[in-house]
Amino acid sequence: DIQMAQSPSSLSASVGDRVTITCRASQGISNYLAWYQQKPGKVPKLLIYAASTLQSGVPSRFSGSGSGTDFSLTISSLQPEDVATYYCQKYNSASWTFGQGTKVEIK
């Protein structure tokens, strides 16, 4: 099975900071990668799919990039409402594996 490794596992940044989360696949997955946001006590929300396509209604401060094995999610200007855990997920082949998550907090 292809494994998905996210880093860091947690981060603390100030409002307005640029924040980047990375996700590395153990084998190439083309661009079959999604990013989800899960706020405390809430269900996950799709932010980005196909590695870089912003889901409808998601603020433009969120962006995704990458292809093959290395991907990133960037929040261009961190806002208080972005406090959440972020997960990457691959959706090619026969396993839809999630990364272990990155918890984002405000400093």
Binding site for other proteins (CB under 8 A): 1, 32, 34, 36, 38, 43-46, 49, 55, 85, 87, 89, 91-92, 94-101
Minimum distance from residue 39 beta carbon to other proteins (Å):
12
Nearer to other proteins, 16 or 94 (CB): 94
CB 47 to other proteins: min, Å = 10
Tell me the closest approach of the beta carbon of residue 100 to other proteins, in angstroms: 5
DSSP string, 32-90: -EEEEEE-TTS--EEEEETTTEEPTT--TTEEEEEETTEEEEEESS--GGG-EEEEEEE
8, 105 in Cβ contact below 8 A? no
Whether 25 contacts 69, CB under 8 Å: yes
Note if the bond before 8 is cis, omega within 30 degrees: yes
CB of 69 to other proteins, least distance (A): 18
